[in-house]
Amino acid sequence: MRKILVFLTVLLSTSIFFCQGFQVNFQGQKQQGMGCAGTALYQDGASIFFNPGSVAFSNENSINLAVTPIFANVLYTDSSTMESYRTNNPIGTPFSAYGLFQLKDYAKLKFGIAAYTPFGSTVVWEDNWIGRFALTRLKLQAIFIQPTISYRIADVIGIGGGLILALGTVELEKDIPVQDSSGVFAHAKLTGKARAVGFNFGVHYDLTKKVTVAVAYRSQINMRLNEGEAEFTVPSSLDANFPDQQFTGSLPLPSVTTLGLAYKPSKKVSCVLDINYVGWKVYDTLAFDYETNTSSLADTKSPRNYHNIFAFRGGLAYEFNKFLTVRAGGGFGFTPVPTSSVTPETPDANRAYVTGGMSVHLNDQFCFDASIYYTQLQRTATNGETNLSGTFETKAIAPGFAFVYKF
Amino acid sequence: MMNKLVLFISTAAIFWSCKPKIKEQTISKGELDVSSFVILGGAQASGYMDDALYFEGQENSLANLIALQLTKAGLPNFHQPWVNEGSVGIGLTGLAKLYLNYKTDCKGVTSLSPLRTSPIGDGSIFSSSIFSSSQRFGNYGVPGLKLLDVAQQNYSAQNPYFSRMASSSSASVLEDVLSTNASFFSVYLGVEDVLDYAKSGGTIQNLPSQTAFQNAYQQVLEGMTANGAKGVVATIPDLTKMPYFTTIPWNGLTLDEANNTTLNSIYNPLGYYFNVGSNPFMIVDSTANMFAVRQILSDELFLLSLPLDSVKCNQMGVLFPIRDEFVLDQGEINELRGKINQYNEVIRNLASQFNLAIVETGSFVQKLSDGFTYNGIAISAKFVSGGAYSLDGIHFNPRGNALFTNEFIHVINQKFNATIPKLNAGQYRAILFPN
């Protein structure tokens, strides 16, 4: 058990740069190969995340373990000084683990269990960068654990739902613009833990032998930090102004509603299309409420004013033979972040991305999946709170791997 | 297995190196000739801060910071009349620079306060000439230099800050500046002409007439532009927005029940009333009544020179009214602002006549007074904590100078179609707090 925990902890830090805002959509290698879409196509245990309704069309006991290292780099060029600064982010490693079970072959009732990291990031900006008073480092970690039940109502209709237990931690650091007698800037570190509950459900309906429609919904989850720790490193003459103390805050994770389509023109070819509607509007303010306020330390309410957004994802798969399947896809998502809310922790923009992938079926029991994702984006903005004004450029590449074992 | 590992690591390295490329920024000097640069001004241009001229202040002077950015557009060199790095500096009243540390007041209360780093200033900086005809100074910011004295012969005799950098004891500042033959210049004069009046609470009445101001300014600009040089000038800010004049509250007289009763019994016959809590201090005003005493009004200002220990422990501002030299009353504030407006009118007209860029320093000082956020740093005109003014409450600290420099660069870029980068003011220090 301890080993599993260590394993999970190592894998927990994922990156912000995927899918809009701080949401990560790397929860299934086969889906990632097809543009992160697949709500209406049952392929493997990852459907527990994408659409529990599709799980009803599985016929297996299986375990699916996947990881997607993310290599992301941001360059910020300040419009006023024309100077550039980079992030030194550690490699993000979103992972997913799925287990599918049925009591007997072709059972109508399926059981699933999943653990995955649907959002998170570690952003580390280079030392002394121009935005140091906005952010120097942010580490968001979350793991969702989701027991799931699916039921095949009829030969063409499946429904399913899961309960989501969300566990998260956040560490936020920035410099404070007061200096000690040798000129060293003060520093703030806020850390906190949150637990929350949510759910997902989905419906899968085979319109014809070739066409499937699906609807999936994942609920909004409010991550509340109730006993956050605020730690200030300040010149001793200002200790009274910056007492170490507890704080509260919250971070809403948006609901996602997906309409999925799948089309199988032949036995060898599958096409998928997902349209996501993401309820980012819930993220209107990032507030930190300190237990003790002083003349130098007020509660903060940073406007975020995110918009609900649509994202479009699609892809196709071609089965060369019973050993090899190849995939390709891409997508486009609007950014939920208004210009005045662009921050060094989410330098988000409208984005297009491309993906590719393959599966190698070693035998009836083992399958190896791989995928790759690439995106680049750019956003020029002036933050309404800090007045930091410049251009963020992001490049990211994410190769993913999975092992699927059926028994 | 080993091969696979190598493959994995090398692939990872490729992914890791997938970084956005830095684009070459185009820094252009536009229509400027930046082969040499000179600035002519008073204390604010020189690097004077914390009530002294000293090395770190000079490093972060308006002059040096503008030159630093001009260097990016091709300025080959810039020389300053340096004070030694270890020097405690020396102010216009002969004292050493201020720093922030603990001070115990007459009531035994210890708090952070500006203190002198040394009992006396470093007069040795005045003892030798550092002029060199082969390395002409670019920073002719001279603490105490008034516009009206700029063409004064033998000015060294009058101002030791100039004597150490003058080409000869008979030279005027203007003549030394003109002999640099600079291709680009800045003039920030006039502040020192109004500072005596403001810092003396209106007791030194030496504000020049608008005509005298006009004539002197015109003479300067004619000289500076004679070689075809382009330049930038700056208006005079409203000094009364600076912490030297805004830090001590007019109604800081806090009374308890007993003192309230005593004061009312003394002052009620004169028509002045007090309450328990905060009240206006009493000030000297010869026109008020036969006792020449009245309450200060909410729009009148105390100066930072007010001896606070006398206020706290010796009834100053209560039984002993605060003297005129520590107060800018309504009449004096109006006189000061009126004159500043007149001078600024002159500067604006001449700037347009000589086709110069112009910095509206009044807007900048007002912006500080209102407070604003710069790259996540809250900046204001508050004493010590505001982050822009030095401990003398009038001259900027390094961060203030960097922000002020950006105002100059902004108008230079606009006027001369240049794209000179601004400074990251956040990396310059504000007030340092003791550990």
For B267-320, write each residue's pLDDT tens digit. Answer: 999 999 999 999 999 999 999 888 999 999 999 999 999 999 999 999 999 989
Residues B311 and B397 placed together within one structural domain of the fold: no
Residue range A173-232, pLDDT digits in tens: 999 999 999 999 999 999 999 999 999 999 999 999 999 999 999 999 998 988 899 999
Supply the mean pLDDT for chain B. 95
Most confident of A245-254, B185-194, B261-270: B185-194
Average pLDDT, integer, range B22-40: 93
pLDDT of residue A118: 77
Residues of A in contact with B20 (CB under 8 A): 73-75, 376, 393-395
Residues B383 and B262 placed together within one structural domain of the fold: no
Residues B93 and B223 placed together within one structural domain of the fold: yes
Average pLDDT, integer, range B366-377: 97
Q: Does residue B10 sit at the A interface (CB-CB below 8 Å)?
A: no
pLDDT-based confidence at residue B14 (cuts at 50, 70, 90):
low
Residues B288 and B233 placed together within one structural domain of the fold: no
Q: Does residue A90 sit at the B interface (CB-CB below 8 Å)?
A: no
Residue range A330-382, pLDDT digits in tens: 999 999 999 999 999 888 899 999 999 999 999 989 999 999 999 999 999 99
Residue after which a domain boundary falls, among B272, B302, B328: B328
Q: Does residue A300 sit at the B interface (CB-CB below 8 Å)?
A: no
Three-state SS for A331? strand
Domains of chain A: 10-406 (2.40.160.60)
Residues B348 and B418 placed together within one structural domain of the fold: yes
Residues of A in contact with B11 (CB under 8 A): 399
Question: Across the interface, do B375 and A83 touch by the CB < 8 Å criterion?
Answer: no
Residues B128 and B220 placed together within one structural domain of the fold: yes
pLDDT of residue B13: 58
Backbone angles phi, psi at A226, to 5 degrees: -95, -30
Handedness of CA B231, B237, B239, B243 (dihedral sign): negative
Among B13-27, B172-186, B314-328, the range scoring the smallest mean pLDDT is: B13-27
Partner residues linked to B41 by β-bridges: B141, B188
Torsion (CA) A337, A339, A341, A346 in degrees, nearest 10: 60
Among A275-289, B3-17, B116-130, B352-366, the range scoring the smallest mean pLDDT is: B3-17
Q: Does residue A293 sit at the B interface (CB-CB below 8 Å)?
A: no
pLDDT-based confidence at residue A13 (cuts at 50, 70, 90):
very low
Whole-angstrom Cα distance, residue B19 to residue B7? Answer: 21
Interface of B with A in 93-112 (CB under 8 A): 102, 112
DSSP of B293-314: EEEPPTT-EE-TTS-HHHHHHS
pLDDT-based confidence at residue A6 (cuts at 50, 70, 90):
very low
Examine residue B72 and state whether it is found in any structural domain, yes or no: yes
Helix-helix angle B330-353:B210-225, to 10 degrees? 30
Residues B274 and B174 placed together within one structural domain of the fold: no
Find where tokens 């479009």 sit: A312
Residues B318 and B355 placed together within one structural domain of the fold: no
Residues of A in contact with B16 (CB under 8 A): 71, 91
Residues of B in contact with A177 (CB under 8 A): 376-378, 387, 426, 430
pLDDT of residue B42: 98
Residue after which a domain boundary falls, among B297, B328, B359: B328
Average pLDDT, integer, range A380-401: 94
Question: Across the interface, do A399 and B423 touch by the CB < 8 Å criterion?
Answer: no
Residues B125 and B221 placed together within one structural domain of the fold: yes
Q: Is 60 exceeded by the pLDDT of residue A8? A: no
Question: Across the interface, do B375 and A134 touch by the CB < 8 Å criterion?
Answer: yes
Q: Is 50 exceeded by the pLDDT of residue A3? A: no
Task: Specify the CATH number for the domain of residue B359.
Answer: 3.40.50.1110
Contacts of B262 (CB under 8 A, 6+ apart): none
Question: Across the interface, do A133 and B16 touch by the CB < 8 Å criterion?
Answer: no
pLDDT of residue B24: 77
Average pLDDT, integer, range A229-241: 94
Residue range B220-240, pLDDT digits in tens: 999 999 999 999 999 999 999
Q: Give me the residue from A130, A234, A395 closest to B426, CB to CB.
A: A130
Residues B320 and B268 placed together within one structural domain of the fold: yes
Find where tokens 């941001």 sit: A74
CA distances from B413 to B29, B221, B401 (A): 8, 20, 18
Tell me the residue range of the domain where B257 lies.
253-328
* Percent of chain A predicted with pLDDT > 70: 94
Within 10 Å of residue A57's Cβ, how many Cβ atoms?
19
Find where tokens 């002052």 sit: B267
Domain count, chain B: 2
Q: Tell me, what amino acid is at A207?
A: L
Examine residue B411 and state whether it is found in any structural domain, yes or no: yes
Residues B307 and B202 placed together within one structural domain of the fold: no
Examine residue B433 and state whether it is found in any structural domain, yes or no: no
pLDDT of residue A262: 97
Examine residue B276 and state whether it is found in any structural domain, yes or no: yes
Residue after which a domain boundary falls, among B298, B328, B358: B328
Q: Does residue A83 sit at the B interface (CB-CB below 8 Å)?
A: yes
